[in-house]
Amino acid sequence: MGKYKKYILYSLYLITFVTMVVVAYTTSKYRPESVLVLFTDLSWLGNWPKWLDLPLMPFLNEGFDKLIKEYGMFFEGINNFLLGLYTDMKNFMVGLPWPILMISVIVLCYFVSGRNIGTTIMVAFCVFFLGFLSPRYWDKCIMTTCIVVIGMLLCLVIGIPVGILMARNKKVRNAILPILDLMQTIPSFCYLIPGILLFGLGAVPAIFAIFVYAVPPLIRLTDLGIRLVDKEVVEAAEAFGANKKQKLWGVQLPLALPNIMQGINQCTMMALAMVVIASMIGTRGIGDEVLLGLQQLNVGMATEAGIAIVLLAIIFDRITQSYGEKIQARTHIKKNIKL
Amino acid sequence: MSKIEIKNVYKIFGDQPSKVLPMVKDGATKEEILEKTGHTVGLDDVSLSIEEGETFVCMGLSGSGKSTLIRHINRLIDPTSGEVSVEGTNVMDLDQKQLIEFRRHKMSMVFQRFGLFPHKTVLENVGYGLEIQGQKPEERNKTAMEKIESVGLNGFEHQYPNQLSGGMQQRVGLARALATNTDIMLMDEAFSALDPLIRSDMQKQLIDLQSELKKTIVFITHDLDESLRLGDHIGILNGGRLVQVGTPVEIIMNPADDYVKAFVKDVNRAKVLKAKVIMSSVNEANGVDKSNLIKINEDQFIDEFLPKVVCTNANCEVVDKNGNIKGYITNKELQSSLTKS
């Protein structure tokens, strides 16, 4: 049976391919009057013939139009929700007096890093320099932070469950891996621009872009982390009668945590990188300072804003990293990290 | 009825085991199957029964299918064909929910590389089985503490596994298996990863615990000395086939084939055989020279009385613990039992 399955699959591929060629030929306006001409006039073997052209572009355009027309409400809903969240968060943080916000971040860092004074001092300096570099940067950094945080939350809420599903089921993994490859290799402008069409200008397409760009490493590392958990330990849980839920929450997730935390850290860094690129589609934030500097050929301005972005990255990195380290220290699995 | 009954179990690893099964049943060898179909035969027509309260040792070299066999008993692995019943219930008939209940209450397992949870303390590890059953923390910690004491690890209950030595880690594994108080304990090469001194220590501890608890233990090992020491019955596996089942004495005195012979070749028989096994009974022992006799207990091992015999050049009178004469041992019996066949 298995042997035949393979051949059926191969012939399916072949049929699909042939159909594509036939569709390309029949829909092409450059095709010769009759198929027979192809046998008499062999010039088409020289240069790539114009009729051998897969009509993917009109197909995609139609699909995209349809998507916007028929599911516009759906995207509108997402847009309103995310935009509302972003606006509330941003207004709250911008509304706070800057010293209070600064102290809050430092206190957060202090507790999250397990009362690590060194990390806290470093983060405190970085936070102070955000505004110190240029007073305009403070509010812009808040905007950027809000976008990154919302994008990351979206990544966590979707990425971790997907990673878990992939680790559990080989078929799901085989189906999702190519999608992740696609998300990671496709140039970011290919989804930034459609993002505008779907969500309008501003913060939401940036969040969407962050999701597409930053979720793959999180999914991959969650999947990998769970699969790397010592088989004998998982077997022990099964032998004592753990059900799926107990196995996942009691054994697999805690032991996969170093990898998942690494994934979250990667996710943050990539989100920050994307939010700068997103300034090119009109997302407000520290990225547009860089853009402005480059447009005006003002190297100093661009560099200054670049430094602010690096500082922001350091803050995010330190906070997420040290949180991961703290959890690992608590669970005593630090020694077992395998990468 | 036996506690555990395994009937004609076949296990074939690969994409389409059921297709390969007829070939295996027709008697094709492991190598042929691998070459022709790319499937690996794990178990080939294994049948055995394990009685309540005994220690059954399953022995074989690596790749002989012994770890596969033990995982059939709690269905961590499903057989390709055949039947495994525990206390009369066919394990294959259980649905997912019943299987989980069955694993929780009927049997526990000890692993070769301990299988401890690195993120849980010793106390949490030992209480894991009870936690899974849904017991409250106070209750399960109490039981867990008792078990930790019974394996001699008091004081370490708040340590994490990787802070302990190998021997101590396996004690935790043992305590964890004991904590759920199941009738059946599966031990998969439980002591193989330990160094010799600690291993012998653990064996002794297991024997002591067993004499008290009378559990049904299925013990997997590749070490013949270990199996002779622990086993009431020993099953020897070779290439997925069960080649011989018997008591330690039967295995040593009558090895079934060359494979078993090679196994028992280097065994120190004097340490394994008891006086009552090699003696000739009172009726048979005509003409034994009774002028120079030493008394020995029927349960003594040969190496316990051999030096005495050699020094005094005497014959032995074997008595049971009430002093009744059961038989005699002369040089002839000693010679035949100690000579390698």
Nearest CA in chain A to B132: A242
Three-state secondary-structure class, residue A162: helix
Q: Which of A324, A322, A316 has the alpha carbon at shortest distance from A149?
A: A316
Domains of chain B: 4-106+182-267 (3.40.50.300), 271-338 (3.90.1280.20)
- Relative to beta strand B325-329, strand B280-281 is antiparallel
Q: Which residues contact B46 (CB under 8 A, 6 or more apart)?
A: B6, B8, B9, B10, B65, B69, B82, B237, B240, B241, B242
Gap between the terminal Cα atoms of chain A: 39
CB atoms within 10 A of CB A141: 23
**Model confidence at B173: pLDDT above 70:** yes
Amino acid (one-letter) located at B38: G
* CB contact (8 A) between residue A333 and residue B116: no
Per-residue pLDDT of chain A (339 residues; tens, 9 = 90+): 556 888 999 999 999 999 999 988 888 888 888 888 888 888 888 888 888 888 888 888 999 899 888 888 888 899 999 999 999 999 999 999 999 999 999 999 999 888 889 999 999 999 999 999 999 999 999 999 999 999 999 999 999 999 999 999 999 999 999 999 999 999 988 888 888 888 888 899 999 999 999 999 999 999 999 999 999 999 999 999 999 999 999 999 999 988 999 999 999 999 999 988 898 888 889 999 999 999 999 999 999 999 999 999 999 999 988 887 877 766 554 444 433
Element (H, E) at A227: helix A203-228
Q: Determine the pLDDT at residue A334.
A: 44
Domains of chain A: 2-45 (no CATH), 60-336 (1.10.3720.10)
Query: How close does chain A come to B132, measured CA to CA in Å?
Result: 6
The ipTM estimated for the assembled molecules is: 0.84
Residue with tokens 């110190």: A132
Q: Which chain B positions have a beta carbon within 8 Å of A230's beta carbon?
A: 115
* CB contact (8 A) between residue B76 and residue A240: no
Best residue in A1, A233, A240 for a mutation probing chain B (most B CBs within 10 Å): A240
Eight-class DSSP state of A48: P
* CB contact (8 A) between residue A2 and residue B15: yes
Query: In this structure, what token pair is assigned to residue A3?
Result: 């042997």
pLDDT tens track for B56-107: 999 988 888 899 999 999 999 999 999 999 998 899 999 999 999 999 999 9
Nearest CA in chain B to A336: B118
Eight-class DSSP state of A131: H
Query: How close does chain B come to A158, measured CA to CA in Å?
Result: 26
Query: In this structure, what token pair is assigned to residue A12?
Result: 């399916």
Are B284 and B332 contacting, i.e. CB atoms less than 8 angstroms apart? no
Are B215 and B53 contacting, i.e. CB atoms less than 8 angstroms apart? yes
* CB contact (8 A) between residue B117 and residue A236: yes
Are B180 and B105 contacting, i.e. CB atoms less than 8 angstroms apart? yes
Report the side by side order of strands in the sheet with B89-90: B40-50, B4-13, B81-86, B89-90
Query: How close does chain B come to A329, measured CA to CA in Å?
Result: 10
Burial B111-149 (b: 16+ CB within 10 A, else e): bbbbbbbbbbbbbbbbbbbbbbeebeeeebbebbbebbe
Query: In this structure, what token pair is assigned to residue B291?
Result: 């002028």
Query: In this structure, what token pair is assigned to residue B154?
Result: 């008091």
Nearest CA in chain B to A253: B119
Q: Which chain B positions have a beta carbon within 8 Å of A2's beta carbon?
A: 15-16
Distance CA A77, CA A136 (A): 32
Three-state secondary-structure class, residue B48: strand
Query: How close does chain B come to A332, measured CA to CA in Å?
Result: 6
Contacts 24+ apart (CB under 8 A), A43-52: A51/A24, A51/A25, A52/A21, A52/A24, A52/A25, A52/A28
